[in-house]
Every structure is written in structure tokens, then in C-alpha cells.
Amino acid sequence: MPKRQTERDLNHTGDRLSIRLDLSSGARIGPGKIAVLEEIARSGSISAAGRALRMSYRRTWELVEDLNRSLGTPVVETAAGGSGGGGAVLTRAGRTVVERYRAIELDTAQAARKHLQALNRACGEK
């Protein structure tokens, strides 16, 4: 998966911006949960997402369940395994969470760029 624009273009010094959203619903959405959702969307599987992120199935599922509970709507739909196999896909809400988080992240990175550059200059970094 290619690096997102916020990581690639924030600053050539390697500066990074990490965003965590604390919504009034109690939902906490940050890079880890977004990575889980993106990996589920890519792989079609909660267990495969966990493996790709070097996370246990249980932990991966806990993050999804936390989002479901705190947002009040499912972010992932699952199909039971069996002879046809199981799977998981993002719901409309899940796709919206990822899209809006990435938009907030990009807008914030663009707004922060000049401040990070000034901070680096003030601290003598090149």
C-alpha cells in the first residue's frame, strides 16, 4: 500500500502528523483503528487484517467492536465461515469513517506544514 500523502508530503525532513479524533459519542478514532478498517477493506477478512498488521485476531476484533459500539452503527459486516468461507467488508459507515478521517488528516497536515517547517528552523534542523 503506498504511503498516504500526509506521510509522504508533510515535510521532506521526515516529520509526521498523527491525528486522533475524540467524538462526542465517545468514539476514539486514530491511526490504528483506521489501519484496521483499511486492511479489512483490502483483504476482506478480519483475521487477515490482523495478520497483516501483526495484531491478534482478538485485538483486531476488539477495535472493530469498539468502533461499532461507540459510533452506534456497524463499521464492518461479517459473513460466517464454512465451506464457502467467511469474510468481512466495510459498511457504508465504515467507508465514511475512513474517508473522513483521511480528509481530516490531509487538511490538518497541510495546515501544519508551515508551522513544522518554522519549528524545524527554530530548532536548527535541516
> For residues 125 and 115, what is the distance between their CA atoms, to the nearest angstrom?
14
Please tell me the predicted confidence (pLDDT) of residue 57: 93
CATH number at residue 55: 1.10.10.10
Q: In the prediction, which pLDDT does 15 show?
A: 79
Measured CA to CA, the distance from residue 91 to residue 30 in angstroms comes to 18
Total domains in the chain come to: 1
Which residue range(s) make up the domain with 97? 5-122
> Mean pLDDT of residues grouped by 10 in the chain (126 residues)?
50 76 96 98 95 96 96 92 75 98 94 88 75
pTM given for the model: 0.82
111-117 long-range contacts (CB < 8 A, ≥24 apart) are: 112/10, 112/17, 113/10, 113/11, 116/10, 116/11, 116/13, 116/15, 116/17, 117/11
